[in-house]
Amino acid sequence: MDLSIHAMPPLDGLLRRADALLDRLGGFPPSLRLLMARVAVAAVFWKSGLTKIASWQQTVALFAEEYRVPVLAPELAAWLAAAVELTAPALLVLGLAARLGALSLLGVTAVIQIFVYPESWPEHLLWAALLTMIVTEGPGRLSLDHLLRTCLLGRRR
């Protein structure tokens, strides 16, 4: 049994094919990636906001007994959380003031991580990664922000 190097496919050709595949993957449209990030993270918070308004008494009780956000009264904390969780996701999906929406949800994520469920950091880190991408890169071309910027300012990116 000959196990010489000649029996293996040429490494150079394999590396070229792998490099070509990586180039194709690198061509994934950034605007589509950003749209997916916006919709994915918006869905998480939208669902949470709907749960909060479905049973307001239970929501206030959760803020009073389990969440215990410091400084704010449970009713105010519940109201603020519901308001952000229902408005910011709509902004993200539309791509309208998307950076502001993402920034507000980053704040909610930080409060949840620090004061409510610190043991759930892997999930919170995922949310924060998507939100940070939106804050730093903007919502992309598939957004009302881009459309407004293009129409009003005549700027293209």
Kindly write down the DSSP assignment for every residue of 66-127, as one continuous string: II--SSS-HHHHHHHHHHHHHHHHHHHHHTSSHHHHHHHHHHHHHHIIIII-GGGHHHHHHH
Q: Tens of pLDDT along 98-129?
A: 999 999 999 999 999 999 999 999 999 999 99
Is 78:64 a contact under the CB 8 Å cutoff?
Answer: no
Does position 8 have pLDDT exceeding 60, yes or no? no
Write down the pLDDT at residue 115: 95
CA 141 to CA 122: how far, in whole Å? Answer: 29
Write down the pLDDT at residue 28: 87
Write down the pLDDT at residue 73: 97
Does position 7 have pLDDT exceeding 90, yes or no? no
Which pLDDT band, with edges at 50, 70 and 90, does 154 fall under?
confident
Name the residue among 136, 129, 76, 85 with its Cα closest to residue 108. 85
Q: Tens of pLDDT along 22-77?
A: 888 888 899 999 999 999 999 999 999 999 999 999 999 999 999 999 999 999 99
Q: What counts of helices (H) and strands (E) characterise the chain? A: 7, 0
CA 92 to CA 40: how far, in whole Å? Answer: 10
Amino acid at 97: A
Is 146:36 a contact under the CB 8 Å cutoff?
Answer: no
Over residues 5-28, mean pLDDT: 80
Q: What pTM did the predictor assign?
A: 0.84
CA distances from residue 145 to 2, 79, 91, 115, 139 in whole angstroms, order as listed: 63, 27, 10, 33, 7
